[in-house]
Structures are given as C-alpha cells and as structure tokens.
A and B are shown apart, each in its own frame.
Chain A
Amino acid sequence: MLRSDQILATVEMIQKENLDVRTVTMGISLLDCRGGDVEETCKRINSKIIEYAGNFVATCDTISKKYGIPIVNKRIAVTPIAFVGAGFLKDDFIRIAKTLDQAATAVGVDILGGFSAQVEKGMTKTDREFIASIPEALAQTEKVCSSINIGTTQKGINMDALAMMGRTIKELAEITADKGGFGAAKFVVFCNQPGDNPFMAGAIHGIEEADAVLNVGVSGPGVIARALERLIQKHPEPGSLRLDELAEEIKQTTFRVTRCGELIGRVVSKSLGIEFGVVDLSLAPTPTVGDSVGEIFKILGVDAIGAPGTTAILAMLNDAVKKGGIFASKTVGGLSGAFIPVMEDAMLAEAVGDGSLCLEKLEAMTCVCSVGLDMIAIPGSVDADTISAIIADEMALGLINAKTTAARLIPVPGKEVGDSVSFGGLFGASPIMPVRNVGKSSRFIAWGGRMPAPIHSFKN
C-alpha cells in the first residue's frame, strides 16, 4: 500500500489540476496502399485506416473511463502523402485528402496528420504538385492536417520550397477567409521534423516507422503550475526558496504526468495489439483557464509574459520537463519540450493583446523550447515573402541548433493589429500579433536555391 500523502498528491493532480493525456495518436503506414491509379489508391487507404483504427476511439474511451484520466484527442498520423502518391497530380492529391478526411470521420478520430512532404534538399515534380494541392485540400476537408519539412541540420534549408511556403500560407488563409483563415492553422512548416510526433498539425508516420505504432502526447501545464504554487505558498521557510528547488519540483511533477501518459498509452496499445512507440514529453497547453504554459512564467517571477527573464525561465522549464520525463518513460520521442502556441494558450494570447509579448521575443523563446512560432495570428495584409522570411529565421534556429523548429502562422484575412480572431475549441483565440518590417525581405526570399548545411552537421 502506498503512503496516504502520495495518494493524495496523485488525487490532486488528476482531479483538480487538469491532468489529461492530450493525445493518443495512431501512426499508420500507407506505403503499401499505392494502387495503379488514384481511385485504387484511395480505396486501399480507406480500408487500411478502417482496418487499423476501427476500434481505436472506442478502446481509448473505455481505457480513459477505467483509469479516470481524460484522453482529450484521438488522432491518426499517416505516411507523408507525397511519398504515397509519387507521380500523382494536384487533383489526385486533393482526392486523397478527401479520402483521408472520410476515413478519419468514419473511425471517429478528432484529426488526421500526414498530408505532408519532405523536401529539405530538393523537390520532385510530385512534391510541387503536392504543395500546389494543399490550399484546396485543406479547405475542402475538416480533419486533415498538413506539414512540410523544408530543412534539416544534415541537408540545409530548401529555399525554393521556403518561398512557396509563404504563398501557400497566404492562399490557405484566403481560401478559408470565411473561417478567419482557419486553413492556415492546419498547416505547419518544419525544420528537423520528427517522424513520431503525436501532436498536430505536424504529426506524420515517418517512413522509418513500422506498419502501425501508437504514440502518446502528455499535457499538464496546469499540473506544473499548481505544484509550483503549492511549493511557493507552503514552503516552511519562504525566504529561502531558490530557483533550483523550483526546477526540481517541475522535474518531479513531470515524472508523474509522463507516467500517466505512458500507462494509458501502453494499455491502449496492448488492447489494440499495436506496438507502443513513444511518449512525447511536451507540455501542451489548452485555452482552458489554469492549463497554460504562460501562467508558469508568471509564477516563476516575471510580471508580464515577454518581459526580460522569460526566455531564461522557458529554458529552465523545458530542461526540467525533459529530465523528469525521460526517466519516467521507456521510450521518449516526438517534440518533447514546452509548447508556446499563442492562440492555444489563453495567457500567451492575453500577453499579445497587451503588447508585452512580441514576435521577436517569441522567436528568441523558440531557441530554448521544443517547437517554434506556433499558432500566431498575424495581419492578413502581411505579404507572402515576409511570411517566408519569418519562417526562414525560425528554420535557421533549428538548422544551427540541431533541433526541431516549426512555424504555424495565420495571416487572418481582413484583420489588422487591434482585431482578434477565434477558432474555438483547442485551437483557441488571440488578438492579431503585430509584424514589424513588413515587405523588406523579398530580395532575400527571391534567391531560392539552398541554404547549406552547417559545418557541425559534417560528422562522418
């Protein structure tokens, strides 16, 4: 029997502090679904998804009830579709997106990722057709998410693809203007994209993966925030509390949070007879009050998110999360770190509104955390080249630091600084973030070609 205080600490974490498993994501390889034509391919894709994920949602729900821990999202990630559809044309890819959407709806998952291509070194004719299909494909589907990997530390950045990204994002936002440009919220550009990330919009089932695998993304910024508050309020000698003790608290709390994710993932995986992949240790916020990464900055000592010290706090938070999580789980992967998706985190969004958090500070913060410029609503008038250039800066951070970075920017049509946009649900809401120096980067983007891989990538 466990000690009562341990039992009560766990009860607090689950019942009062928003502990949940943010996502259980089933990765399914579609490489063997290729048929002679798009018709046949779509048929096979549909059958394979239904075969593997038919009982997925029901199983997750049963296990969630048994353990009393909510599984917020049930998702599917598939092999990057540009590989599956080699040789297909734009309209064929739109057709595949619709099939993926129908299959996702049929099995009842919340969202499906993997409408993706990996073009970090060069683009095939297929890749270009595929990228051209993205705006319409995402506009005509509900559950499909798309991602493009345009750089790796090993290969450098594909600047031709980068230039296309700004235009794709603009088109996506404009084609979904009636929904505030929501299409762009389902599209993310990566450097060093992992093949086992369970989080959206960037989840794919990498070509290095087995036929099917189950990855889990934990949540828990609320749990960390409450644990820190408790430590600060109930410390026996309040004046003597130091930062390293706070880091230790984050580490221990992350251990507990990760263990719950690992437990749920392994039980679901066993029930479905599908191999368990990884736990992604990311601290993923939700727009719910009390489930915010932004709140942790304030608890740890800055009065405004974005004030000097914010980057240092994030560095410590990210590191402590990894240290606690890595020991808790047998296999860790995906993005693993703290997320700062502005729209999905009520307090980050608020900081954008009151002007304390700017784009440049967010960029600095992404140097020390796991993802990048995520879910940022910018004015609809920002041009494609400026968007590409913002992405270029973010990709360069990933390239040089050998880490994953990503950009998910939403140029909200017809909205300017002072306005705000809301997508509802987990996608959240935010005031429009100002972008400075608009229209001053076109000459840089026009070069095209490749940004070479950095010197420290040559390790052979």
Chain B
Amino acid sequence: MRKQMIISVMSKDRPGIIADITGAIYKLGGDVADLNQTVLCGYLTMILSASFDPEVTKEDLLAAISHIKTRCKFEVSIKELDPDQEEEDMGPPEETYILTVQGPNKTGIVHGISLFCYNHNINIFDLATTLQNNQYTMALQLDLKHCISSLETLQQELEEYSRQSGLTIMMQHNDIFQVTNEIALH
C-alpha cells in the first residue's frame, strides 16, 4: 500500500514553482492526486496530496525540495496520512450552505463570523474574502451536518448577528449556487 502525504508550500510567487515542487515529487516516484494553489499579495501558497512507495519518508521529500535552487526559500510542511484516517472524497454533503457577508471594512469581521460558525459546530469548507472600495465581502462554504441549531434557528441568529454587527449576511443552500452558475445540471 502506498504512503499518502499532504504537502503545504509557501513562497514568493514566480513562474515555475509548481514545476519545481512536482519535479521533486516525481523524482521520488510520487504520484500527485489533488492540488490547490492560490496567490495573494504576490505570495503563493499551495497544498497538495501525493502518494509514494512505502520506503519514501517525509524527510526524503523535504530534502528533495530543499535542494531546489530558488531565490526565495520555500516554506514547506509535510504530514504523512494515517491510512485509517483517509476519507473518501464524497463531494459536498447535502447540508452544504453558502454564507455571504458584506459590509464596510473593520477589524474582526472574519474572526467574528468564524467564531459564530465554531460556536454552532459548523465546519468551514472554503472561504474567500475580498476588500474593494473599503467594502469587505466574505463568501463561505459551510458544512451544517453537525450544526447544533436547526436551520430556522440558525437563520434567526444570523439575522440577529446581522443587526448587531451592521453587516449584510445571507445564507442559502449550495445547490442554488451550483444550478444557477454551472452549465451541467446534476
């Protein structure tokens, strides 16, 4: 059975980072499965999962990456996955909702919303925020599977939160966004 590793890399962005990192994995006989990358303020961060032969260790991979010649050093973190921990990728569950938050920029918006989610045992799958003309916009993909409140209570509490914080907060089911923005009808 092959060994699964999760690799996270951060560096100043330049052409060739993915080629460098995946090159190091390739030389060790690794096979890349999922990869996600994003660039913010000129810095690139990526997270990827790859499988290796059992004898390859995370130290081998770290060494291979550190041998890459690059002006800005890679900040790398690697975790080996426990085979029992592996979960099948089932796609978003039925209780996936999209929360949008909009309002004038101030400190603590992201913290406040994420704390609200935590207090209700809501997991944040994905989160994107933008700041434009001093207007802050957050879009969160949430998993309500283990949420401790009913949907109705949650909507009421969000309304209350909206009133107190002066932010415009909306929560709608993920499917609505999928069907109105994607060509394929699932």
Contact = CB atoms under 8 A, between A and B. Distances in A.
B170 A15 contact: yes
A65 B177 contact: no
Given A8-B100, A65-B151, A259 B179 contact: yes
A260 B175 CA distance: 9
Interface stretch (A51-59, A66-74, A298-306): A66-74
B185 A10 contact: no
Interface residues of B, number: 25
B86 interface: no
B128 A10 contact: no
Nearest to B102: A8
A67 B98 CA distance: 11
A7 interface: yes
B170 A11 contact: yes
B179 A11 contact: no
B100 A11 contact: yes
Given A1-B141, A7-B139, A260-B179, A66 B128 contact: no
Contact of A8 (B137, B152, B173, B178): B137
B21 to A, nearest CB: 22
A256 B182 CA distance: 10
Contact of B126 (A1, A10, A259, A328): A1
A13 B152 contact: no
Contacts of A262: 179, 185
Contact of A68 (B102, B137, B176): B176
Contacts of B171: 68
A1 B175 CA distance: 12
Nearest to B128: A4
B130 interface: yes
Given A4-B128, A259-B185, A330-B185, A10 B141 contact: no
Q: Secondary structure at chain B's binding surface: helix, strand, loop or mixed? A: strand
Given A1-B126, A1-B141, A65-B151, A6 B173 contact: no
A10 B139 contact: no
Contacts of B77: none
A322 B179 CA distance: 18
B180 interface: yes
B172 interface: yes
Given A7-B98, A256-B180, A67 B130 contact: no
Interface in A1-38: 1-2, 4, 6-8, 10-11, 13-15
Given A8-B137, A11-B100, A68 B172 contact: yes
A263 interface: yes
Interface centre among A11, A66, A68, A328, by most chain B C-beta atoms within 10 angstroms, is A11
Nearest to B97: A68
Interface in B135-186: 137, 139, 141, 151-152, 155, 170-173, 175-181, 185
A260 B173 contact: no
Nearest to B179: A259
Contacts of B98: 2, 7
Interface centre among B126, B151, B173, B179, by most chain A C-beta atoms within 10 angstroms, is B179
B186 to A, nearest CB: 10
A330 B184 CA distance: 10
Interface string A321-332: 000000010100
B173 A10 contact: no
Given A1-B141, A65-B152, A6 B181 contact: yes
The 3 closest A-B pairs by CB, nearest first: A259-B179, A256-B180, A1-B126
11 contacts: A6-B181, A7-B100, A10-B172, A10-B181, A67-B175, A68-B155, A68-B172, A69-B176, A255-B180, A260-B180, A263-B176
Interface of B: 98, 100, 102, 125-126, 128, 130, 137, 139, 141, 151-152, 155, 170-173, 175-181, 185
Interface of A: 1-2, 4, 6-8, 10-11, 13-15, 65-69, 255-256, 259-260, 262-263, 328, 330
Given A7-B100, A259-B185, A263-B179, 15 more contacts: A1-B125, A1-B139, A2-B98, A2-B178, A4-B137, A6-B180, A7-B98, A14-B176, A66-B173, A68-B172, A68-B176, A259-B179, A260-B179, A262-B185, A263-B176
